Amino acid sequence: MEFVEFKAEHVEQAVRILKENYREEKRRVPALPEFSIGAELLQSMAGNHLGVAAFEGERMLGFLTCKGPFNAFGIPGVKGVFSPLHGNGAVSEGRDKIYAHMYQSAAKKWAAAGAASHAVCFFAHDEVLKELFYQYGFGLRTVDAIWNMEGIRMQVSDENVTFRELEQKEFALAYPFYRKNSEHLRESPIFFRHPTKGLEEFLRDVKEEGDRLFVAEVNGRAAAWYMVSKEGESFITSTSDMLNICGAYCLLEYRGRNIAGGLLHFVAETLKNEGYSLLGVDYESFNPAARGFWPKYFTPYTNGVVRRIDEGGIMEWKYR
């Protein structure tokens, strides 16, 4: 194997590898849409001097590139890089060895650029990569999951529970749920530094981004909330018949009564009646509430793993 810098002239072969990797995952997750993967996904990362490509003669075996460096986790002075789902791939034969060598080569570039946080997203059912990244010191952080909104009906026994979509003039009703979700993400064992927007910023962003807000109410009091967005965390979510849950919270006193599940069913029925066929969600794997709820209905299709390397090693590589 030969390893070279990932450049624009490598994009065509990289797209072919990415398409095959996607077909592999779709065989395990049939809900994934038929998706046309284009070169534009990779162009911005080609030639940024942070990627590598593996070759055997003229044949590409794999590629690993990234976005960044950027300020990781909002922590001053901590730089990170991220290889998104479309930023890496390899042929099936010898995939573990190909990725091992590619990461070794790419990590030198990342460390030299001052990045101590290395994050990589790959398909969830690739057990070879799960084991490899585990052995290389990475831990699971994020999951993207998908649901075709079929086959599940959530029964809510409490006749005092109602579900509805908020009108724009009512969006402020959802703000307390947004705040509670932000507070929840800061708690143990999540420890996610989640900046909380003020009410005016929250309302402006929701309206500008075209997000939709749904609530469950018990005797007229809001008990649970979902925010549904067009955009998700992977390139797959850009398909026209898919929307994505990008915010959710149920008040503690209403948990265990299937209110969150009932609201999810209401959202699904509403979207299906509008012609949508897929619903996505992304969540932190170390969020106990999310890990216990979303997999009941959604099938994971990506894993996002992260490694924090020794900053002492960073200083050494930056000046090589």
Q: Given pLDDT bands bounded at 50, 70 and 90, which one contains residue 47?
A: confident
152 assigned to some structural domain? no
86 assigned to some structural domain? yes
62 assigned to some structural domain? yes
155 assigned to some structural domain? no
pLDDT in tens, 269-304: 999 999 999 999 999 999 999 999 999 999 999 999
Are 37 and 9 part of one and the same domain?
Answer: yes
153 assigned to some structural domain? no
Provide, rounded to the nearest whole percent, the portion of the chain with pLDDT above 70. Answer: 95
Are 120 and 188 part of one and the same domain?
Answer: no
Question: Residue for token digits 């927007």?
Answer: 197
Q: pTM score > 0.85 for this model?
A: yes
Q: Given pLDDT bands bounded at 50, 70 and 90, which one contains residue 315?
A: low
290 assigned to some structural domain? yes
218 assigned to some structural domain? yes
Are 179 and 288 part of one and the same domain?
Answer: yes
Are 310 and 276 part of one and the same domain?
Answer: no
279 contact partners, CB below 8 Å, separation of at least 6: 146, 147, 149, 242, 243, 244, 245, 267, 268, 271, 298
Are 97 and 186 part of one and the same domain?
Answer: no
Are 271 and 186 part of one and the same domain?
Answer: yes
5 contact partners, CB below 8 Å, separation of at least 6: 47, 49, 51, 52, 53
- pLDDT above 60 (res 319): no
User: Which structure tokens are listed for 136?
Assistant: 């290389």
Tell me the average pLDDT of the chain: 93
Reading phi first (left if > 0) and then psi (alpha if -120 to 50, else beta), residue 160 is in alpha
Domain that holds residue 215: 161-296
Q: In this structure, is the dihedral angle defined by the CA atoms of residues 255, 257, 261 and 264, taken in order, positive or negative?
A: negative
pLDDT in tens, 197-216: 999 999 999 999 999 999 99
Residue 69: is the preceding peptide bond cis (ω within 30°)?
Answer: yes
Tell me what the mean pLDDT of segment 12-41 comes to. 94
pLDDT in tens, 120-151: 999 999 999 999 999 999 999 999 999 999 87
CA–CA separation, 253 and 183 (whole Å): 16
Instruction: Annotate 184-204 with b (16+ C-beta within 10 A) or e (fewer).
Output: bbeeeebeeeeeeeeeeebbe
Are 192 and 122 part of one and the same domain?
Answer: no
Are 121 and 240 part of one and the same domain?
Answer: no
User: Which structure tokens are listed for 110?
Assistant: 């990342």
- pLDDT above 80 (res 152): no
Are 213 and 233 part of one and the same domain?
Answer: yes
CA–CA separation, 278 and 47 (whole Å): 34
CA–CA separation, 268 and 228 (whole Å): 11
CATH number of the domain where residue 190 is located: 3.40.630.30
75 phi and psi angles, rounded to 5 deg: -95, 120
199 assigned to some structural domain? yes
Q: How many domains does the chain fold into?
A: 2
Are 9 and 135 part of one and the same domain?
Answer: yes
